[in-house]
Homo-oligomer: A and B are copies of this chain.
Amino acid sequence: MAYFQARTDLALEAREFVEDADKALHGVIVEEYETGDEEIHVTRVRITTKNGARLLGKPMGTYVTLEVPGLTEMGESSDVGEGHREVAEEISRQLSALLPEAEEAASVLVIGLGNRDVTADALGPAVVEHLCITRHMIREYGKNAFAREKMTMVSSMVPGVMAKTGMETAEIVAGIVKETSPDAVIVIDALAARSTKRLNRTIQISNTGIHPGSGVGNHRSAITEEVLGVPVIAMGVPTVVDAATIVGDALQRMHSELKETVFLKARDSMALTELNNMYVTAKDIDATIKRLSFTLAEALNITFGMQA
């Protein structure tokens, strides 16, 4: 049993955590395989029942995780890195599988969540920066004006965080979706992992959208198909670990032998609450965000027919 409520945006970690206590999880189907020269480890977690959702603390839906050990080392010798293309193609494949069929997804709105002024939270804005935006050109010239087989109408938005806009991100997105009627919405965000080992090398794609209380910052209210009326795909990479989580986990590992009450008393006296609104991140997070944003943007550009 967990005495400490660890926080993670990764369904993968939520499942591992629960599994420690109870191997048989009803309503949670897991599939795993390796792919490619870059040794991409793909895990597909499907939460199919309300019981599974409750157990994992995540909404029902599909969560695909790509673990790429080399992702943090890639690109040492250049901005973009050599294995980067292969990873982008695999992300594109997994993303396409979660998106509606091309005919029903002729137009997509990509939302870059997060705060561009906080490096670890700037993944969403950085990805949008590298996207090929086509909606205005297709509306002006028509699809036939471009020598491409397939071409999705792509628009994008960086809504900013509530402290700077005074509005919920969900309000902004809802207004824009109603006004511009995309067939699908893709939200890109920096995530929180439970373990530092997953930072900056794990990509999660899900068809469940974004739910309040998750994410690096406080900027996330529900951005889901239920609210917006169109499919919402969430794509992100964990760039931080919650500070209280990292301390709590360390304490717990040392206390596997101690009784719950002893532990809880000790923990409370330590005022983990002073770690609220604190997070742990890597010192070279600027280089990491730069590299990740190229890979994710290329994956999106491939998906939308804008990169051969």
Contacts and interface: CB of A to CB of B under 8 A. Distances in A.
A279 B285 CA distance: 11
Contacts of A180: 167, 171, 175
A72 to B, nearest CB: 11
A275 B245 CA distance: 13
Task: Identify which of A132, A178, A250 gathers the most chain B CB atoms within 10 Å of its CB.
Answer: A250
A133 B163 CA distance: 7
How many copies of the chain does the oligomer comprise? 4
Contact of A270 (B136, B158, B250): B250
Contact of A175 (B179, B196, B301): B179
Contacts of A217: 283
Nearest to A267: B254
A153 B165 CA distance: 11
Contacts of A286: 115, 117-118
Contacts of A163: 133, 136, 284, 287
Nearest to A115: B286
Nearest to A289: B117
A217 B283 CA distance: 7
B281 A279 contact: yes
Interface string A127-168: 010101111110000000000000001111111101111111
| Most interface-central of A132, A157, A166, A280 (chain B CB within 10 A) | A166
B157 A243 contact: no
Contact of A157 (B78, B172, B282): B172
Interface in A42-66: none
Interface in A223-256: 243, 246-247, 250-251, 253-254
A164 B110 CA distance: 11
State which size class the interface on A falls in.
35 or more
A151 to B, nearest CB: 10
Contacts of A282: 277-278
- Best-surrounded residue of A128, A196, A283 (most CB of chain B within 10 A): A283
B275 A196 contact: yes
A176 interface: yes
Interface of A: 77-79, 115, 117-121, 128, 130, 132-137, 153-160, 162-168, 171-172, 174-180, 196-197, 216-218, 243, 246-247, 250-251, 253-254, 266, 270, 274-275, 277-287, 294, 297, 301, 306-307
Given A133-B165, A175-B179, A279-B280, 15 more contacts: A77-B132, A121-B283, A133-B166, A134-B166, A156-B166, A157-B159, A157-B165, A167-B180, A172-B175, A174-B175, A176-B176, A196-B274, A247-B247, A250-B270, A277-B283
20 contacts: A78-B132, A119-B120, A133-B163, A135-B167, A136-B162, A153-B166, A156-B165, A157-B167, A157-B172, A158-B160, A167-B176, A172-B176, A175-B176, A196-B274, A246-B246, A246-B275, A250-B251, A253-B270, A277-B282, A280-B280
